Amino acid sequence: MLAADPACAEQLTALPAFGGLRTMPFDTPRALTDVPGGAPVTWHVLRIHLDSSHSAWLAVAGTERIAPDWEAVFSSLLALLQRIVPLFLVIGDGERRLRVMEHVLETSGVGIVVVDPAGHILMANAVAHGIVAENDVIAMRDGALRAGRPNDNRRLQDSIRDMAEQQSANADASCYTSVALERDDQAHPLTLIVRPGPSYAPVTAPLRRTAVVILRDPARRGALSAPDLEQFFALSRAEARLAGLLADGLSLEDAAATLGVSRNTARSQLQAIFAKTGTNRQGDLVRLLLSSAASLTYNPVSAA
């Protein structure tokens, strides 16, 4: 529905007369009158044929500002609208896809930073900002991505330049470099994967070469939802709570103490969890849980 604003489109689609729009003839302006709450409302509508399965409607409400020759005005716009609307739909579909991908990235716990060959930041998602804010081994400084230690920064910048040069018309999943940034206060380093920027086909060259830096912080933990674990693996509530604590890094003894149950009870529950998940070791169970969709249901938080 092409209308003056989204509110107009919602108002029009809520009217009883809206059902008649689908049977309107193409390319012929019509005036439709409805009485939504006592006062009549007139809509001036043009149905635009796009293809065998799609139509669009240009709709203007009211009579105060409508031109007397509105039918001629609408008809004169027809050829232009038939060219513009398909482009609008393509752009809208691209925007929807972009928002879906952005949403997936934000809920995945993966930090993404797009940089130019000099490391200047072109885009960074909220997860990346969070990871950088929590670590002193990497920074977003003066609009650029920089590692804290000089040697680490040289390796990072070399990787960024190299991967930006490797950017091509077709993506190559095997093309990447890895960078580990050691931390004084953590056993595990901050891990970075640097890849070439996105493929730029069908054009012959990118407008600007880029690299993509993917950040993961092993110290960040996400709380697994017990109801999700129940649903995914047919666990009982008690089993799901125990599984969630194990996935969060607790030992069986610590998990039992947290839940206020005996070690034997926790062992019995763990055996039931193994049977239901098809695992037989605690490490295999944790890997399964953390690789399941349950790990995406809660935003990751900093480890205590």
Is 109-216 a CATH 2.40.128.130 domain? no
Q: Which residue has the higher pLDDT, 8 or 60?
A: 60
Say what percent of the chain tops pLDDT 90: 46
Query: What percent helix, strand, coil does the chain show, rounded to 5?
Result: 45, 20, 35
Look at residue 106 in the predicted model and tell me its pLDDT: 74
Task: List beta partners, residue 216.
Answer: 191
Whether residue 36 has pLDDT greater than 80: no
- pLDDT at 13 exceeding the cut of 80: no
Separation CA 57–CA 77 (nearest Å): 12
Specify the pLDDT at position 300: 46
| Res 220: pLDDT | 72
Most distant CA pair in the chain, distance: 85
Report, as an integer, the average pLDDT of 45-54: 85
Q: Write down the domain spans for the chain.
A: 2-105, 109-216, 226-296
Contacts of 120 (CB under 8 A, 6+ apart): 143, 144
- For 226-296, which CATH class? mainly alpha
Give per-residue pLDDT as tens, 70-111. 899 999 999 999 888 888 888 888 899 988 888 877 777 789
* 73-93 CB burial, b ≥16 within 10 A, e <16: ebeeebeebeeebeeeeeeee
Question: 23: pLDDT confidence band, cut at 50, 70 and 90?
Answer: confident
**pLDDT of res. 222:** 61
Q: Which of 12, 22, 14, 24 is nearest to 60 (CA)?
A: 12
Instruction: Report the DSSP beta bridge partners of residue 277.
Output: none
| pLDDT value at 276 more than 80 | yes
In three-state form (DSSP H/G/I as H, E/B as E, the rest C), the secondary structure along 45-95 is EEEEEEECCEEEEEEEECCCCCCCCHHHHHHHHHHHHHHHHHHHHHHHHHH
Task: Identify the weakest region by mean pLDDT among 1-10, 38-47, 130-139, 203-212.
Answer: 1-10
Equal CATH topology for 109-216 and 226-296: no
The answer to whether residues 11 and 44 touch, using CB atoms and an 8 Å cutoff, is no
